[in-house]
Structure 1
Amino acid sequence: MQKITPKVIDSGCRDDAPTKNVLKNISWSERTKTRSHPDELPSLKALIDKQRGTDSDVLQKVMMHPKGVMLWSNKTLSVFYKRCKYDIVYLDATGSVIKKNTAESPPYYIYELVVRNPSKGQSPLPVATYVTCDHTTASVTYFLQAFQTDVIRMYGNVAIKRPVMIICDGSLVLMHSISTAFCRTGLEDLLQKYFLLITGQHPTETFDLPILHRCLSHIMKNAKALCKK
């Protein structure tokens, strides 16, 4: 990189630049210089301690087994608390963002709690993110409960009955986790309560559980796939 003149770099021309892997190694080497510890995990934990109580306090938890990090802040907790009282909360997951280093490496998933932006036409607002290589009910439930614990710690027990409605893609892992973390009951019991509600056997005035809703686009996608079989 030092052999490339500043004029070439400023122009955006990369014809004489090293290969992608070399640039990746250079970038990684530069990032390691800013670490507080040579090892990544102690460095992340030191970063948590350093940011605790500040406006930059976003990194909440670092886990070794399974590997993962959880991210949210007091600001996003506030946004979640205000928005989820009247609007929909989304829980989504994707495994296509972080690439595996090797074929043997476990895939990493990104889970995100998202609320709708109060300004029409604006992008949704992510309030909590979980990056992990463990796609299990226990792992996702721990993430949601950790986030919910911080919400309750900030706003008290009044936050227990929120949100009003949660939408997910229909994954059993997500549905079980949402049922446990936000509805405080098992998925089968929750579905039974919904059945009693929609059949008129339970008064709507006293029903105070969040509504778990499957994403319609995923339902249509699954139906389309079934029709092709």
Structure 2
Amino acid sequence: MEKFTQLTGIAAPLPMMNVDTDMIIPKQFLKTIRREGLGRNLFDEMRYEDDGKENPDFVLNRPAYREAKILVSGENFGCGSSREHAPWALLDFGIRCVIAPSYADIFYNNCFKNGILPIVLPQEDVDKLMEDAERGANATVTVDLEKQEITGPDGGSIHFDIDPFRKHCLLNGLDDIGLTLERAATIDTFEAEAAQARPWV
């Protein structure tokens, strides 16, 4: 998993509450177990018209936000079914940080397991960042995980809280497999001792 230390990029505004996982990546795109390629169908039903053409009014189709790395949205982001394809699609598009007042628990946990930083902030701070994000190409925001700080385009900063263990995992690029491999030497020692004590197993 790619490490998350500091991220600077365009923040895209999505001022909607209850953005569910079917909106993030509709069910017809869940047939794959590959993480690549899902970005093209991120927010598919909002990004594309019935004839397959892009909806020019959707935020990620606007020129200023096509390379967005941060998404600012409303309460209860990621609600709905527990599909891990939702963070996969965000990540494949290029979004590595979501900022919202609250999240659905399963989506929130899945973000950390896939290298996305979901930041929880009070509504007034989200509103300020939403205003910043409306600036389009001038909506450059920096997220510093080590300092737990978001710096807006005007230089103002907002502190955010994060669980220390999850922070450690993101800073070091550790998913569940990576965490296990951190203890590889201990595992090898255990297996060698077990083989010696019970050679018949």
- TM surpasses 0.5: no
Larger gyration radius, structure 1 or structure 2? 1
TM-score norm. by structure 1 comes to 0.26
